[in-house]
Amino acid sequence: MDFSEFFGFLSHRSSVRDYRDEPLTDKETEYILDCACTAPSAGNLEAWDVVVVKEEDTRAALAEAAYDQQHIVGASTIFVVCANYVRSMSRYGERGILYAVQDATIACTYMMLAAHAGKLHSCWTGAFDEDAVREILDLPQHIRPVALLAVGRGYPPAALTERMEVGEHVHREIW
Ligand SMILES: Cc1cc2nc3c(=O)[nH]c(=O)nc-3n(C[C@H](O)[C@H](O)[C@H](O)COP(=O)(O)O)c2cc1C
């Protein structure tokens, strides 16, 4: 893949919130998980975990925990990507809190892009009640849910979302 193909791949992904009732195959699910495992992590500790949710009742409960965002029940699979504080704090102490969140975030990014590579659709979902998600999934105390990644087959929006100009983000040499 060259620069231009990679840019095309990235810039043609968009968040999808309207899904067909079609499950992911086991192969697709495992592909997404395998891709996540290639992500870098602080000290290679891989301080992230994921709960793969396919049951409709659980997705409905997660949708409610996500303030009634219906794509969470509409998408056939929800990858609940979590930071594992014990894994990173055992080596890095307080700094490990930030590392675990970064590890989970990059793992989730890889999953999102893996779904895109497999011609699936996704929506990264960060707005949810953490305590409610904890209770639904019986998460241990040292596990923090960071993102609900909805994945399925759906209807992408007609137009891509816009972005700021690169110059608005970038500072060179000094702020
Ligand atoms: C950290 C984060 C949190 C997000 N939370 C939500 C969310 O709760 N609900 C939702 O519908 N989309 C959510 N999104 C998706 C963004 O709205 C979307 O990525 C952004 O509008 C750009 O659109 P695009 O993904 O189609 O390019 C989130 C994305 C990120 C990265």
- Under 8 Å between Cβ of 108 and 79: yes
The model's confidence at residue 85, banded by pLDDT at 50, 70 and 90, is very high
First-to-last alpha carbon distance for the chain, in angstroms, is: 33
Classified as helix, coil or strand, 139 is coil
| CA of 128, closest atom in ligand 1 | 8
Average pLDDT, the chain: 98
Structure tokens at 164: 């700021």
Rounded distance, CA 108 to CA 92, Å? 22
Classified as helix, coil or strand, 52 is strand
Pick from 124, 130, 163 the residue to mutate for probing ligand 1's pocket: most ligand atoms within 8 Å of its CB.
Answer: 124
pTM of the model: 0.98
The residue nearest atom 2 of ligand 1, judged by CA position, is 126
pLDDT confidence of residue 132: 98
- Under 8 Å between Cβ of 97 and 108: no
Pick from 112, 123, 133, 146 the residue to mutate for probing ligand 1's pocket: most ligand atoms within 8 Å of its CB.
Answer: 123
Q: What angle do CA 31, 39, 119 make, to 5 degrees?
A: 35
Name every residue whose Cβ is closer than 8 Å to that of residue 53 and which is 6 or more positions away in sequence. 59, 62, 77, 78, 79, 80, 137
Pocket of ligand 1, beta carbon within 6 A: 14-15, 17, 69, 123-127, 161
Residues 139-144: contacts with CB under 8 Å, at least 24 apart: 139/51, 139/82, 142/84, 142/85, 142/86, 143/49, 143/82, 143/83, 143/84, 143/85, 144/82, 144/83, 144/85, 144/100, 144/101, 144/104
pLDDT confidence of residue 60: 98
What is the per-residue pLDDT across 25-82, written as a single tens digit (0 to 9) for each? 999 999 999 999 999 999 999 999 999 999 999 999 999 999 999 999 999 999 999 9
- Under 8 Å between Cβ of 132 and 148: no
What is the per-residue pLDDT across 90-147, written as a single tens digit (0 to 9) for each? 999 999 999 999 999 999 999 999 999 999 999 999 999 999 999 999 999 999 999 9
The residue nearest atom 19 of ligand 1, judged by CA position, is 15
Bridge partners (DSSP) of residue 84 are 143
Closest CA to 65 of 132, 127, 125: 132
What is the per-residue pLDDT across 13-27, written as a single tens digit (0 to 9) for each? 999 999 999 999 999
| CA of 105, closest atom in ligand 1 | 1
